[in-house]
Amino acid sequence: MASEKPKLEALEEEYLKIDKLPRLTKAVENVDKIIELLSAARDQVAAAPESHTAITITKLQNPVKTAFEAVNDGLKGAAAAHKKMGKALDKSFPLKPLPTDHDAMADHVPLINRAVAMHLLREGQFSVASTFISEVQSASKSEESADLNEPMGEGDDDGDEGMNADDAASTTSSENYDLSSFHSQELQQSFAEMYNVLQELKVKNLVPAIKWARKNAVELEARGSNLEFELSRLQFVWLFKGPSFNGLPDDENNGHSGALRYARSNFARFQDRHLKEINRLACSMAFAPNIAASPYKQLFAIDSAFSDVASSFTREFCSLLGLSAESPLYLAATAGALALPQLMKYTQKTLAKGTEWTTANEMAFETPLPESMLYHSIFVCPVSKEQTTDANPPMVIPCGHVLAKETLRKLCKGPRFKCPYCPSEGIIQDARQIIL
Amino acid sequence: MADHGAAKINHDNHLLLDQPLLRLPYELLRKNIRSAHYHIEWDTNAVKDLLKETATNSINQKATKEDVVNNLDQMLARMRGLKRKLSTYAEEENRLYRQSTARVAHLRELSDIHTVEDVKYETWSRQRLDRLIVDYMLRHGFNESADALAKDRNMLELVDIDTFVTMSKIRQSLENGSVQEALAWCNENKKELRKMQSNLEFELRCQQYIELNRSSSSTRLLDAIAHARKHIIPFSNTYPTEVSHIAGLLAYRPDTPYEPYASLYSTGRWKMLADLFTDAHHKLLGLPQFPLLHIALSSGLSALKTPACHSSQQNQSHQGQKPHKSSTPGPGKEESPEPRSHGTASLQTSVCPICSTELNALAKNVPYAHHSKSHLLEHDLMLLPNGRVYGRVQLDEYAQKSRLGQGEVKDLVTGERFREAELKKVFIT
């Protein structure tokens, strides 16, 4: 990989070159020429006396022949351009067959449909989402009626044949998750609300966001979220900056006096949690004429403040719905693209060896993901090198070291064991399961 | 496993899912040129021959002036026809080139992006997801949604709506019990199908025969025999058993309980034919057999999944830094005996995508990611008397936010309060 002329760039250049080559249009032009020749000859024959016919026709032969050759050249040109494209593709974008022998997702189309629908709603694509939902529903209806008509479905990838009871159960349970059972209307309303608020934040209007935060204050506080205060503080600063900065009407509700008014009527509710910050905001009033040179200037630097509150608002909003802030479908697809090379390498190797992927619960290979895509702590037992699970949970032993339960069981001689990491010994009864 | 190398984009391997993006227009171009070639050959030969003949006849004085004019008119009509057809092919070719250039430009954007953390990557990756979703919709026949999404995202050049719409029309006609459209398609792609050793045409011909047999009128049965002679017997070397079953079918009525005749009469065959067609279609154009989104998801869900995502102690598995909140409005989740638990304490938290409602049930069926090293989101771990472990920083932060007294901490998940003296240090090796 030393030749770091990026392949994609090379490919693009090549494509642009190919785009300029003559193609079928050339052939069309020459067909036109033939038509001209023929119709000119026809007119000539029709107009001239009978004796001239043979000459006209004979004269026609050669030009038509060359024109036909040109048509063929046009075709050849198109084929050559196409061939070049193929070569460029093979060189800079060589085909790597995707793992297509087994579609693990085929049985779960209803669930994927639901995920797609939720993704569309979350992205604010309400009209696409509703088209999608209605198309899915009409399709599943027609499928149901088709199923009734034909008792013996030979469907290959529907997986509705040769299934054991277990699979059947999981399929029916997943079918409960079809689109009618997830309350798309409700969800749509929620996301519509979120979009309104975000839209307003974009035009620097904090009021709807503050309203929402106040409505959900109890929940937010229980989450330890400061969102409402952050928003209110920003509102204070925003008003403080005055009409020349925020473009709001120049009245008693704006500018320094507006900020003060706002603080008086709103900050009381934050007093016990954020007294310090409120004090600082209040003190800054004294420096009002020249904030930039005051010790409070940082409070008033709000360049990124709006986008910051927008993202914490999105996060809190989704969390209260039990949803992750970033679209899971987006994360999963991105993680999928990142992990796919490993999967393909693995399938190639196992294919070559003739072994099968036998681990049912755990992947057989590592799929490194960036830090930002890790959401849970992972504990791998330092002795057995296994990840802890519900069945094999992490245990803390009296010296504070953590081992997997299985490991501990194997370490035991009678009820006693020795810590593999420090000299201390313990008894099995003293080990405690922990939740990481 | 997290390492900083993981955020780097390996350009050689990052576009596996995007191969059809360039391969499909390439294949379509091939097909387009081939069709153009066929028509050029056919029409030019006819015109050339006629012109030569006219010339010879006119020199030998066998043709009158009227004959010559007539012949020239014929040639003109042919050439005009050719021009019409060829223009469509030329237009299609231009469209495909335009599409290819746009697609290469889209892929090329990636070569300026070197890490996943780059903001530009998110934009790019989102567009990829949109492409994958459109592909998914098209493959499941949700054509209107696909069209709406592609238009909304202004990416018509990046998706293959036309190809799939044409395909789904043929597929639908099969599902509705008509083989004509599919046979026409077979005819268009005869050579390639033969190369692929596809049995599609054979099965379609059999279906025609089966339908003729379905009727009880004797003329239809004679038709069936004639049909079999013409279209099915030629396959008898390739598919000897099938052909013999087909021959035997004459002796059985549609309500026969005997196999294999009962399944030959089954209406389920139409769905089989539709699938067979889809299969051949995708293979011919070098398209993966199932939606790219399926591939992305099965690899992505596993990579993200941890044992904690489907832990039976749902609430218990969440942890301070990036916990899953259990107050999901989903069914059956509110019944936990605890008071509504609040999964998180610090502001910088977000729900794990696998734990989130969208994907949770879907991810149930995939294996979780393999890790060979512990990866902890928090440091300085402290054990609470209830068995939960949190980072020192997170506990302090939460205590402060909850306005606890000195020397007190609060469980970030359950909300229980403890005295600091009850905490114990935990070492993860």
Write out the DSSP string of A157-168.
TT--SS--HHHH
- A324 interaction partners in chain B (CB closer than 8 Å): 350-353, 355-356
Cβ-based contacts under 8 A for chains A and B: 527
Q: Is A405:A433 a contact under the CB 8 Å cutoff?
A: yes
The amino acid at residue A337 is A
Please list, in sequence order, all residues whose beta carbon lies within 8 angstroms of the beta carbon of residue B186, skipping any fewer than 6 positions away: B193, B200, B201, B204
What's the number of domains chain A is made of? 4
Contact B350 A324 (CB under 8 A): yes
pLDDT for residue B316: 37
**Pairing verdict, β B424-425 and B381-383:** antiparallel
Q: State pLDDT tens for residues B19-71.
A: 999 999 999 999 999 999 999 999 999 999 999 988 888 888 887 888 888 99
- B401 interaction partners in chain A (CB closer than 8 Å): 224, 226, 273
The verdict on B68 touching A (C-beta cutoff 8 Å) is yes
Predicted confidence (pLDDT) at residue A353 exceeds the cutoff of 80: no
The verdict on A191 and A310 lying in the same domain is: yes
The verdict on A51 and A132 lying in the same domain is: no
Alpha helices in A248-327 (DSSP H): 255-266, 271-284, 305-320
CA distance B415 to chain A (A): 9
Contact B367 A332 (CB under 8 A): no
CATH of the domain at A387: 3.30.40.10
Q: Which of A193, A7, A149, A14 is nearest to A86 (CA)?
A: A14
pLDDT for residue B410: 86
- Region B198-221: mean pLDDT is 88
**Pairing verdict, β B368-370 and A362-366:** parallel
Comparing alpha-carbon positions, the chain A residue that sits nearest to B28 is: A82
**Could you tell me the residue range of the domain that residue A62 belongs to?**
7-90
The verdict on B251 touching A (C-beta cutoff 8 Å) is no
The verdict on B74 touching A (C-beta cutoff 8 Å) is no
Q: Find the CB nearest B111 among A9, A54, A224.
A: A9
For helices B19-59 and A53-92, the axis angle rounded to 10 degrees is 160
Phi, psi of A54 (to 5 degrees): -60, -40
**What is d(CA B150, CA B160) in angstroms, rounded to the nearest whole number?**
10
Q: Is A32:B95 a contact under the CB 8 Å cutoff?
A: no
Domain boundary pick from A320, A339, A361? A320
The verdict on A353 touching B (C-beta cutoff 8 Å) is no
The verdict on A268 and A385 lying in the same domain is: no
| Band (B181; pLDDT cuts 50, 70, 90) | very high
For A435, left (φ over 0), alpha (ψ -120 to 50), or beta? Answer: beta
| Band (A208; pLDDT cuts 50, 70, 90) | very high
Compute the mean pLDDT over every residue in chain A, rounded to the nearest whole number: 82
pLDDT for residue A412: 87
Cis peptide before A208 (omega within 30 of 0): no
Q: Is A210:A202 a contact under the CB 8 Å cutoff?
A: no
Q: Which one-letter DSSP state was computed for residue B333?
A: S
The verdict on B7 touching A (C-beta cutoff 8 Å) is yes
Contact B299 A367 (CB under 8 A): yes
Predicted confidence (pLDDT) at residue A334 exceeds the cutoff of 80: yes
Asked if residue A101 belongs to a domain, the reply is: no
Predicted confidence (pLDDT) at residue B281 exceeds the cutoff of 90: yes
Q: In what order do the strands lie in the sheet with A394-396?
A: A402-404, A394-396, A432-433
Which contacts qualify for A42-50: CB closer than 8 Å, 24 or more apart?
A: A42/B69, A42/B72, A42/B73, A42/B76, A45/B65, A45/B68, A45/B69, A45/B72, A46/B65, A46/B69, A50/B64, A50/B65
Strand (E) or helix (H) holding B368: strand B368-370
Q: Which of B205, B204, B200 is nearest to B284 (CA)?
A: B200
Contact A31 B83 (CB under 8 A): yes
The verdict on B370 touching A (C-beta cutoff 8 Å) is yes
**What is d(CA A210, CA B347) in angstroms, rounded to the nearest whole number?**
17
**What is d(CA B71, CA B47) in angstroms, rounded to the nearest whole number?**
9
Percent share of chain A, pLDDT over 90: 24
The verdict on B237 touching A (C-beta cutoff 8 Å) is no
Q: Is B282:A321 a contact under the CB 8 Å cutoff?
A: no
Contact A337 B29 (CB under 8 A): no
CA distance B109 to chain A (A): 9
Asked if residue A281 belongs to a domain, the reply is: yes
Please list, in sequence order, all residues whose beta carbon lies within 8 angstroms of the beta carbon of residue B83, skipping any fewer than 6 positions away: A28, A31, A32, A35
The verdict on B24 touching A (C-beta cutoff 8 Å) is no
The verdict on A218 touching B (C-beta cutoff 8 Å) is no
Each residue of A23-43: b (16+ CB within 10 Å) or e? bbbbbbbbbbbbbebbbebbe
**What is d(CA B333, CA B318) in angstroms, rounded to the nearest whole number?**
15
Locate A225 and state its tokens. 């979220």
pLDDT for residue A252: 81
The verdict on A52 and A134 lying in the same domain is: no
**What is d(CA A224, CA A269) in angstroms, rounded to the nearest whole number?**
15
Q: What does the angle CA A224 – CA A228 – CA A232 come to, to the nearest 5 degrees?
A: 140
Please list, in sequence order, all residues whose beta carbon lies within 8 angstroms of the beta carbon of residue B417, skipping any fewer than 6 positions away: B404, B408, B409, B410, B411
CB neighbours of residue B52 within 10 Å: 13
Q: Would you tell me which residues 367-406 of chain A have a C-beta closer than 8 angstroms to some C-beta of chain B?
A: 367-380, 382, 385, 387-390, 396, 399-402
Q: Find the CB nearest A436 among B26, B75, B319.
A: B319
Asked if residue A314 belongs to a domain, the reply is: yes
The verdict on A207 and A311 lying in the same domain is: yes
Assign A403 to helix, strand or coil.
Answer: strand
Please list, in sequence order, all residues whose beta carbon lies within 8 angstroms of the beta carbon of residue B29, skipping any fewer than 6 positions away: A82, A85, B93, B96, B97, B100
At which residue do the structure tokens 């927008």 appear?
A: A310
Q: State pLDDT tens for residues B390-407.
A: 888 888 888 877 777 888
The verdict on B244 touching A (C-beta cutoff 8 Å) is no
Assign B410 to helix, strand or coil.
Answer: strand
Assign A196 to helix, strand or coil.
Answer: helix
For helices A109-122 and A328-353, the axis angle rounded to 10 degrees is 140
- The model's pTM is 0.83
- B402 interaction partners in chain A (CB closer than 8 Å): 224
- Region B127-136: mean pLDDT is 95
Asked if residue A163 belongs to a domain, the reply is: no
**What is d(CA A132, CA A117) in angstroms, rounded to the nearest whole number?**
7
Q: Find the CB nearest B308 among A136, A272, A376.
A: A376
Locate A188 and state its tokens. 């749509």
Contact A89 B23 (CB under 8 A): yes
- Region B191-219: mean pLDDT is 88
Q: Which of B289, B278, B28, B283 is nearest to B173 (CA)?
A: B278
**Pairing verdict, β A402-404 and A394-396:** antiparallel
**What is d(CA A79, CA A27) in angstroms, rounded to the nearest whole number?**
12
Q: Is B50:A109 a contact under the CB 8 Å cutoff?
A: no
Domain boundary pick from A320, A354, A389? A320
The verdict on A296 and A386 lying in the same domain is: no
**What is d(CA B323, CA A329) in angstroms, rounded to the nearest whole number?**
18
Percent share of chain B, pLDDT over 70: 90
Asked if residue A350 belongs to a domain, the reply is: no
The verdict on B52 touching A (C-beta cutoff 8 Å) is yes
Q: State pLDDT tens for residues B350-391.
A: 578 898 888 888 898 888 999 888 888 888 899 999 888 888
Predicted confidence (pLDDT) at residue B287 exceeds the cutoff of 80: yes
CA distance B316 to chain A (A): 6
Asked if residue A82 belongs to a domain, the reply is: yes
Contact B79 A322 (CB under 8 A): no
pLDDT for residue B118: 87
Comparing alpha-carbon positions, the chain A residue that sits nearest to B348 is: A312
From the centroid of its chain, how far is CA B340? 40
The verdict on A226 touching B (C-beta cutoff 8 Å) is yes
C-alpha distances out from residue A398 to A105, A395, A432, Å: 45, 10, 8
CA distance B4 to chain A (A): 7
Asked if residue A371 belongs to a domain, the reply is: no
The verdict on A202 and A291 lying in the same domain is: yes
pLDDT for residue B278: 94
Contact B347 A225 (CB under 8 A): yes
The verdict on A125 and A82 lying in the same domain is: no
**What is d(CA B388, CA B122) in angstroms, rounded to the nearest whole number?**
35
pLDDT higher at B417 or A171:
B417
The verdict on A296 and A399 lying in the same domain is: no
Q: State pLDDT tens for residues B291-334.
A: 999 999 988 999 999 888 887 654 433 333 333 333 333 333 33
Percent share of chain A, pLDDT over 70: 87
Contact A42 B73 (CB under 8 A): yes
**What is d(CA B395, CA B417) in angstroms, rounded to the nearest whole number?**
11
Whether the CA torsion A163, A167, A168, A172 is positive or negative: it is: negative
Each residue of A300-338: b (16+ CB within 10 Å) or e? bebeebbeebbbbbbbbbbbbbbbbbbbbbbbbbbbbbb
The verdict on B266 touching A (C-beta cutoff 8 Å) is yes
| Band (B145; pLDDT cuts 50, 70, 90) | very high
Residue B134, strand partner residues: none
Contact B429 A223 (CB under 8 A): no
Q: How many CA atoms within 13 Å lie on the side-chain side of B162?
A: 10
The verdict on A190 and A314 lying in the same domain is: yes
Q: What does the angle CA A136 – CA A158 – CA A328 come to, to the nearest 5 degrees?
A: 55
Compute the mean pLDDT over every residue in chain B, rounded to the nearest whole number: 84
| Band (A247; pLDDT cuts 50, 70, 90) | confident
The amino acid at residue A215 is K
Comparing alpha-carbon positions, the chain B residue that sits nearest to A32 is: B83
The verdict on A136 and A211 lying in the same domain is: no
Asked if residue A152 belongs to a domain, the reply is: no
Q: State pLDDT tens for residues A46-74.
A: 888 888 888 888 888 889 999 999 999 99
CA distance B9 to chain A (A): 8
pLDDT for residue A97: 82
The verdict on A130 and A192 lying in the same domain is: no
pLDDT for residue B313: 55
* Complex ipTM more than 0.85, yes or no: no
